A and B are shown apart, each in its own frame.
Chain A
């Protein structure tokens, strides 16, 4: 199993396609950084224009806020980057003809598919570590650190500088779990295809479709909303909201709705496990005709 995983990772990191994702993330982040470095004041002024009569003092546009802005812009695109690999894991091998070679080796199909999925998960993990490196650490270096001001839809949260970093660890961890679910969708679809285009388009369509459903405020759809994985994908933001005491002062180290994070994690993990189980079940019975 370990050997299979090694081989799968070797294959992933030997192919040019893999580095497209890393390159894309680095360049997107640098574009955001560049823009905010030049025009950040405008951005902050724009945020502030929503609360006339108040003024912000201090380094508002610090690394922590820039990271948050970056994540909001980028996490929409990461599923695509995860999918270009996950949706290719099996279909890609069917396409180049190596799948039948792999399956005629002394490993069971379940072993092979789980090794392939684990490799995808590791790729996803490294992608998020890469994202964290650029979006968080580089921004901390470039923009410095200070308290973090977040404009929620109906209130503003100010989080103390020394209370932020662990939230990002949580947020990236959460994003990892969410992206693993996305990877599992692409992975499952990749069983049915003989090139990666179909599964990539399929996965993105599913995400877009469910996102639209979960954004529409129609009672019928609201009922299924809690069960859609896309609804939960953005809940990393929950890490950036604090409880307040009776004086409306924030309590350091708290999260406003920890239960929401736990729920989302459970829903996402449930989806991942379910999708993988279906993938194993189908793949074990599949006739390889490619």
Chain B
């Protein structure tokens, strides 16, 4: 029987003293999803993922995994779940192989040496299996962390900020690994990040949260829809350009202005035409910045955040 919902969260709330870290959050992760969890640092991503893993107890709300309530079926759920939370979680005084073996045992399985070696190979640690982890780079530790999370072949993989502190190559490695796990191994993956482009490249579904609340949730297809591209236009004289635009066929795409610049929402494919038209009208264009709607939304959330931070600091 194919399972529809792997994760179903309703009304999840977490209160730390006076701070509401997660506020009445609801979302659903379906089987086979790569579910992108987007938000600024401190938005509540980590707290939410930790609640999914029983590391933090919710103040209110309901969590079901694999159709089972988390608070009553923790053991069964955890047997099918693997997780890497933030930093690489491994024992530095053990070798890569020993770490993997230990976590396999913790998950109640006894893989053969060959299976373990294959796992290490998959995360690109071949040749370093028997080196102590303290000699590893951050990226290697992170990949080993992921290998340990996968060692018991879980159905659900939770990765919290898996690319934090990695160099570009490390980030690319993790991205490829996520795609591999999703496409080849048919895993359901929840991955969080504060960087949109990371999520954009792997996610099938995306949620953006801010201050513990859901801002938007949807499929990548609709959120990254090219017909919903937001264009930010800056010219030498924005007032004059606006008058011209309002009187043209482009008027239907106009959006409220933000801090002086002009905003249009249109299909990505018509941007060259707009550009040509502007030049023909003699508008002196300084900058044309197209973003898809999700990116635009995320940036708004982010800039708002930065604004607040600027004040509080």
Chain A positions near chain B (C-beta within 8 angstroms): 3-4, 6-7, 10-11, 14-16, 96-98, 100-108, 285, 287-289
Contact = CB atoms under 8 A, between A and B. Distances in A.
B105 A97 contact: no
Nearest to B102: A7
Interface centre among B79, B84, B103, B106 (most CB of A within 10 A): B106
A224 to B, nearest CB: 34
A105 B108 CA distance: 9
A288 to B, nearest CB: 4
B53 A96 contact: no
B79 A106 contact: yes
Contacts of B89: 96-98, 100-101
Interface string B110-121: 000000000000
Contacts of B94: 11, 14
A14 B55 contact: no
A160 B160 CA distance: 67
Interface string B140-184: 000001001100000000000000000000000000000000000
Interface string B73-102: 011101101011111111111100010001
Given A14-B94, A98-B90, A104 B81 contact: yes
Contacts of A10: 102
B50 interface: yes
A106 B107 contact: yes
Given A103-B55, A104-B54, A106-B107, 19 more contacts: A3-B105, A3-B106, A11-B91, A96-B89, A96-B91, A96-B92, A97-B88, A101-B84, A101-B145, A102-B106, A104-B83, A104-B85, A105-B78, A106-B75, A106-B78, A108-B75, A287-B56, A288-B55, A289-B50
Secondary structure of the B contact surface, majority rule: mixed
Interface centre among B74, B81, B85, B108 (most CB of A within 10 A): B85
A6 B110 CA distance: 14
B57 interface: yes
B78 A14 contact: no
14 contacts: A14-B93, A96-B90, A96-B92, A98-B89, A98-B91, A101-B85, A101-B103, A101-B145, A103-B53, A104-B53, A104-B55, A105-B78, A106-B107, A106-B108
Secondary structure of the A contact surface, majority rule: helix
Interface of B: 16, 50, 53-57, 74-76, 78-79, 81, 83-94, 98, 102-103, 105-108, 145, 148-149
Given A96-B92, A106-B79, A288-B50, A101 B148 contact: yes
A269 to B, nearest CB: 30
B221 to A, nearest CB: 31
A95 to B, nearest CB: 10
Contacts of B98: 14
Contacts of B50: 100, 287-289
A101 B108 contact: no
Contacts of B53: 100, 103-104
Contact of B83 (A16, A101, A108): A101
A100 to B, nearest CB: 5
Contacts of B78: 104-106
B90 to A, nearest CB: 7
Interface centre among B55, B86, B92, B107 (most CB of A within 10 A): B55
A99 to B, nearest CB: 8
B105 A7 contact: yes
Contacts of A100: 50, 53, 55, 83, 85, 89
A3 B98 CA distance: 15
Nearest to B87: A97
Given A11-B91, A289-B56, A105 B107 contact: yes
